[in-house]
Chains A and B, each alone.
Chain A
Amino acid sequence: MGHQRVKALDYDDDLDSDDDYFEEGEGDGEFLLKLFTPTQKNMRQGTIEVKAALDDSISISDKEIEEALWHYFYDITKSVTYLKNKHAPMPTKVAAQKKSKQVSRFDRAANSAMNTQVQNASGTVSPYPIPQKPSLEHAIISAAEFFKDVPWLKVPPHRRGDIIIEPLYPRGGLLGGSSKPSKLAALAAARKKKLESEKNSFAAAAAVDAAEQPTDKVVSLLDRLNIKGQGKQDVAANVTKNEISSASVLPIPTLRKYPARRKRSSSPRPAETREDKPASVPASDNLIEILDLRAPPSTFAATMIGAHRPEPRAQSPEGSMFSLYANRPEVANANPFSGPSPDDIVMNAQAKGNKSKKGPLKQPNGGKTPSNLADSVSSLTVEEAPKVKSKNLNVLEEFEKSNMKRMANFVVIGHVDHGKSTLMGRLLYDLKVVDQRSVDKLRKEAENIGKSSFALAWVMDQTSEERSRGITVDIATNYFETEKTRFTILDAPGHRDFIPNMIAGASQADFAVLVIDASGNSFESGLKGQTKEHALLVRSMGVQRLVIAVNKMDTVEWSQARFNEISQQMTAFLVAASFSPKNLAFIPCAGLTGENVIKPPLEKVIPGNWYSGPTLVEALDASEPAKRALSLPLRLTISDVFRGGVIHPISISGRLDAGSLQIGDSVLAMPSGETATIKSVEIEGMPADWAVAGQIATLHLADIDPIHLRLGDIICTPSAPIKNVKSFTAKILAFEHVVPMSVDVYRGRMNAPARVSRLVAVLNKHSGEVEKKRPRIVQPGAVARIVVELEREMPLEVGTRVVFRADGNTIAAGLLEIS
């Protein structure tokens, strides 16, 4: 009784959920309805036969028998079995399970061909290579259980094949099954299961319902049959799909043999069996589930399973999502990499250590899910990190082999508010290094605090302080590449207070871009201020080539006169600062609007179209590749020490001034004199095996305490360490008066208090001969030799370029002579 009631109650729901196929069948509905009506005679006849077949002990109403007959499409045997089972001690489960077993594609095809009831010959052998119908006595693994670790899509063929091994023998019935309309059966089962919990409360009402509206029920059943029939006629595959969707929620009889099943499936199956499977085993075979263990998948999901079956995917034969990898040697060994990656090591260890909690699933192609990655990452930290192994590369050879694109680092310098950051923001934006969306976001944020013109600068200025104050404080590093060269931008702060940071940036640069504000008095004030100081600084740090971007040309209407005036003044000044005129390039541009940054300005922008020279990017591209001190011993100035995340607790970055390094190298940090091992290397944010002079590399270190690493320290090779010195003699070019005084000594990021202890001599600017011994004071512009005493020992060697500053002014720059 319960069965019917449930059906009646749930009818509408089913309609909804099965909309997909119903729609398709709409057109043929009426025809099919007619087709099926005459079978009422069969129904009556069948009822009598079933009654006869059933034991007396079981009392079953005619209605139930009719119902069963409907389900089994007048298959007497099946109906009888169904009814018997239904009223047996485990009624619902067995019945449903039986039904599910009969859902074979062949069955349905045969079924649809038949219009009248056919008595199944119980001895008939299925033409399929595999028996379609599992016997009741056989343990059946639930479909849901079996599939619970399977993604909804792409059921792998070998996975499906597991079922084949199950000794499923034909049971009485034509072609190993009855003519039961499995679709209906599935629906019934689904309804039953869904409503099992509600059954009690609704039982009474349902019974009334069922009794009062038998016609309705018949109609509804017919409706469904119509659709069913249509489906059958359409495509067999289609039916299968429907089957799967409904089958996934079918009840299941028992779990008895579950462990045995598991054991068998965990071993690799013969390939031939697997090959057969996709064709021979309809998915309906597997459509069994453990009762009430988990919620059934949504119709959508179920549909999706059927729709995309064929793509194979490595799967676990066992219950866990993560179980496959560990137990499948062929997968585990299918590592395309030469050695075991850290992930592999962890996974293997996990598999060994804890079988029940399997290693993360990993595709042979290296694909990982994010959660797996997180898993392996966290396990990595728990485990003892494997000792870093050097690949013993010949880095110089590798470098030549790699045939890398030209690389250049340039520092962007100039007076404060001359638009350095904005120009670079524009450059990156126009080169699509920064996407529209982030720029739009920055624009909005900038407008919110009323500084809309700062939006592009914020691409470079990222700290809250820089943004709220509208100035750059520290070097911002960014990358872009043109057809010829890979560039690293070092955007320096213009404010005089942050010149130490600018020096740090300039020390990493191959050439410099000097940004000059063309408007109003800005150029003039800059020339007195940091335009001058920066230019002198970069020159004294060895930068030879200068690209002068005459910025904000839009504010002076692209006046050629103004451009020429600035060019002339700057050329005079820069040549005096010992830049060679051929190494200077003047480029008019407008950072805010973007003219002549990467695209030449439109004709109407420039009055008279007087400028036809290169754009800023073209000028950058024209730079000569810097010479690399590849064969010298390693020298790297630390420009940043940070925590690179959980895996890399100590990371440093900086430019390799000389030499090369590779993963696994042991390096020496000076002045602390501590050694460290290079765990990994990153260049421009990408992992690398080695780095050579001229590159700005990020090194992840091991075996060192961060206390021994400070900004400005030098990383060198233990075989040729740099020495710590307490005092040194330097040949300097004075920018201001130099007397014996307290100074700050700058070398890259390094910044140390010191004292000029003695002025040894003033030298001739050109010949270098001593002009005056023991001068009282060194005048600006003079070249002199001085002795400097450091407050504490610093790693410095002969030939190092240093800058001396005092009271916020750069007083001199020089070259170490004797340390």
Chain B
Amino acid sequence: MRLLKQQIDRKDGSGFATLLPEEPEDMWHAYNLIQPNDLLRARAMRRITKESDSGSVASTRIAMDLTIRVTSTDFDVGSGQLHVAGKVAVESEYVKLGSFHTLDLELQRKFTIEKADGWDSVAVEMLKEAIDTTKRAQVWAVVMQEGLANICLITEHQTILRQKVEVPIPRKRKGGLDGHEKALDKFFSTLLSTLLRHLDLPAQTTPYKPLLLASPGFIAESFKSYIHAYATRTTNKPLLTLLPSILVAHSSSGHQHALAEVLSDKTVLSKLSDTKYARETALMDRFFELLRKDDGRAWYGPREVERAVEKGGVGRGGGVLLISNALFRAQNVVDRKRWVGLVDRVREVEGGEVRVLSSLHESGKRLEGLGNVAAILTFPLEDLDEADENEVEDGDGEL
């Protein structure tokens, strides 16, 4: 994403930023940046109906710049499309104030955001992250098991499930071995053709993104040799050049969440150590390890973490606050303020480390299970959860 213009007041955070999204990933950033009640200005097409004095109706489509006050956002992960709905905030020649419009943000089309309550620290950081133009690692990963494969694209900020391939494979059976092997071959060929369609190798500029194959048993290994045989047989040059960057790893299943396991693998980590994903995964692993020890240094859940922060547990010398960016997308302004406040407190008052995990990554999903927020404390704290048993009884909510 390119920052075209920025006017943010350091003190109160008021101001705006004009951005130009350049790649699909940028839509994800925009999705995280745009909050309800923000003002968003972008190019829009709108059908204008005019009724003449004689009563005849003429309808035309007119492109114009519209400013809307955001009411909701909708992000399609698969296609990377972001739709922002809101009420028109600035009246124009054609559109009345307060009429509804949904802006479809598009690549290479600039937009301007003005925060309703000013740019808070989290928003500023997100903006920084969004306009970071340093080279980002992207990895294609195929998590598979017999008859099932998930083709995923792992980027800096998200893991996108591109396609799920399912081919029924008969089990081994007396006199039925043929079916098993034939089906396996069919599975591989389906998977490879699907994968090639997604990789779109010839269109890619070199060097190719690494391809990660992970499975229990030998499926991934077999698939690699299948690709090898296929590439050699068809003398598919792009595929042949891809071959050296294929990594085979072990996973316990072919489901997407097994990716977490793959990415904590040492050999894979060494190749991907730069990605945010790998760092987050490592952090989550550490958290779970502490949790298993159950020595009171790992806590999860909104109330528990807040309490731990209050008691100064997440401070200098190892305190880490893990928080999912899903919390900052909260439609409720109060909620967002609550979390921004927590982050600010840890960062500025306590001196601990804050990690905002992408809810679209596996690590973010693991965190989601824990209530979207967790903390590694510098010292053990017990019974952070005891006091609120009664609240839980009736509330039942995590947030």
Residues of A within 8 A of B (CB): 462-466, 469, 473-478, 495, 497-498, 500, 639-643, 653, 685, 706, 709-711, 737, 739-742, 744, 751, 753, 755-757, 773-774, 776-777, 779, 805-809
Contacts and interface: CB of A to CB of B under 8 A. Distances in A.
B176 interface: yes
Contact of A639 (B145, B171, B389): B171
A477 B145 CA distance: 22
B184 to A, nearest CB: 9
A709 B169 CA distance: 11
10 contacts: A463-B181, A473-B217, A477-B173, A498-B217, A500-B253, A753-B253, A753-B256, A755-B369, A779-B294, A807-B258
Interface string B214-247: 0011100010000000000000000000000000
Nearest to A478: B174
B385 interface: yes
B64 interface: no
Given A469-B218, A744-B253, A773-B389, A462 B172 contact: yes
A653 B179 CA distance: 14
B393 to A, nearest CB: 8
Contact of B291 (A640, A739, A756): A739
B168 A777 contact: no
Contacts of A757: 369
A463 B392 contact: no
Interface string B318-360: 0000000000000000000000000000000000000000000
Given A463-B181, A464-B181, A808-B216, A742 B171 contact: no
B216 A642 contact: no
A205 B171 CA distance: 74
Interface string B268-303: 000000000000000000001001101000011100
B261 interface: yes
B370 interface: yes
B180 A463 contact: yes
Nearest to B261: A807
B257 interface: yes
Q: Which 7 A-B pairs have the closest CB atoms?
A: A808-B252, A642-B170, A742-B257, A497-B216, A740-B369, A753-B255, A640-B171
B252 A497 contact: yes
A739 B288 contact: yes
A642 B218 contact: no
A685 B366 contact: no
A757 B251 CA distance: 23
Given A642-B171, A739-B300, 6 more contacts: A498-B216, A640-B170, A739-B369, A742-B260, A744-B252, A744-B253
Contacts of B180: 463
Interface residues of B, number: 43
A809 B253 CA distance: 11
Contacts of B196: none
Contacts of B371: 740
A685 B294 contact: no
B291 A737 contact: yes
A773 B170 CA distance: 44
Contact of A774 (B170, B366, B392): B392
B78 to A, nearest CB: 16
Contact of B252 (A466, A711, A740, A805): A805
Contacts of A476: 172
Contacts of A653: 173
Contacts of B385: 774, 776
B365 interface: yes
A742 B369 contact: yes
Nearest to A755: B369
Nearest to A641: B168
Contacts of A640: 170-171, 173
Contacts of A807: 252, 258, 260-261
B259 to A, nearest CB: 10
B177 interface: yes
B174 A463 contact: no
B177 A462 contact: yes
B307 to A, nearest CB: 13
B261 A808 contact: yes
Given A710-B168, A773-B389, A807-B261, A465 B369 contact: no
Contacts of B292: 737, 777
B174 A685 contact: yes
B397 to A, nearest CB: 11
**Residue among A706, A709, A742, A774 with max Cβ neighbours from chain B (10 Å):** A742
A655 to B, nearest CB: 13
Contacts of B291: 737, 739, 776-777
Contacts of A737: 288, 291-292, 294
Nearest to B296: A776
Interface string B158-198: 00000000001011111011011100000000000000000
A652 to B, nearest CB: 10
A427 B102 CA distance: 72
Contacts of B257: 742, 753
B386 to A, nearest CB: 10
Contacts of B370: 739-740
B218 A773 contact: no
A643 B176 CA distance: 9
Contact of A773 (B181, B255, B392): B392
Nearest to A466: B172
A641 B218 CA distance: 22
A757 B258 CA distance: 18
A640 B180 CA distance: 11
A650 to B, nearest CB: 11
**Residue among A737, A756, A779 with max Cβ neighbours from chain B (10 Å):** A737
Contacts of A466: 172
A298 B145 CA distance: 62
Contact of B170 (A462, A464, A643): A643
A640 B169 CA distance: 8
Contacts of B170: 640-643
A741 B172 CA distance: 33
Contacts of A806: 252
Contacts of B304: 776
A742 B392 contact: no
Contacts of B172: 462-463, 466, 473-476
B369 A642 contact: no
Nearest to B388: A774
Contacts of B299: 776
A497 B174 CA distance: 23
A476 B180 CA distance: 13
Nearest to B367: A740
Nearest to A746: B253
A476 B371 CA distance: 43
B288 A463 contact: no
B55 to A, nearest CB: 54
A497 B216 CA distance: 5
Given A740-B369, A741-B369, A751 B253 contact: yes
Contacts of A751: 253
Contacts of A463: 172, 177, 180-181
Contacts of A498: 216-217
A465 B226 CA distance: 14
B179 A465 contact: no
A108 B389 CA distance: 118
A477 B174 contact: yes
A692 B41 CA distance: 69
A781 to B, nearest CB: 13
Contact of A706 (B168, B171, B177, B369): B168
B255 A744 contact: yes
Contacts of B255: 744, 753
B216 to A, nearest CB: 4
A776 B389 CA distance: 12
Contacts of A742: 257, 260, 365-366, 369
B86 to A, nearest CB: 32
B168 A756 contact: no
Contacts of B181: 463-464
Contacts of B216: 497-498, 500, 808
